[in-house]
């Protein structure tokens, strides 16, 4: 499967086959497919996920992302996780990871 405006290969669920093919333009396209309009707060989360992947070679666990978001908005981790689900209502794996250009984490739930 390929995307409309780019030639990045995607799997049958729409996740990138190679996370290095990700671009901000592709993120916007993926967000549109999920009926999301990306705000600065979305971009903060996506940038964190991309930077974590670049540094560690793996997709960050949701707890790391929720903690990062909580620190940014000055709340506790539980509220940070709730805010993450407000930004990406269909879940961390389905929307956050997909829009950030990660491969689908196979061992994770769809949370």
Q: What is the 3-state secondary structure (H, E, C) of the chain?
A: CECCCCCCEECCCCCECCHHHCCHHHHHHHHHHCCCCCCHHHHHHHHHHHHHHHHHCCCCCHHHHHHHHHHHHCCCHHHHHHHHHHHCCCCHHHHHHHHCCCCCCCCCCCC
Average pLDDT, the chain: 89
- Write down the pTM of the prediction: 0.87
pLDDT bin (cut points 50, 70, 90) of residue 2 is: very low
**What would the pLDDT profile of 26-50 be if each residue is shown by its tens digit?**
999 999 999 999 999 999 999 999 9
Domains of the chain, first to last? 19-99 (1.10.10)
91: left (phi over 0), alpha (psi -120 to 50) or beta: left
């Amino acid at each position: 499967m390929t995307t409309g405006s780019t030639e990045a290969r995607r799997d049958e669920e729409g996740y990138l086959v190679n996370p290095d093919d990700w671009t901000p333009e592709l993120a916007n396209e993926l967000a549109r497919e999920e009926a999301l309009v990306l705000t600065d707060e979305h971009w903060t989360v996506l940038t964190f996920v991309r930077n974590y992947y670049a540094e560690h070679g793996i997709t960050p666990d949701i707890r790391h992302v929720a903690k990062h978001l909580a620190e940014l908005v000055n709340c506790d981790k539980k509220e940070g996780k709730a805010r993450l689900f407000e930004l990406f209502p269909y879940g961390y794996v389905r929307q956050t990871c997909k829009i950030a250009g990660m491969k689908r984490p196979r061992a994770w739930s769809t949370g």
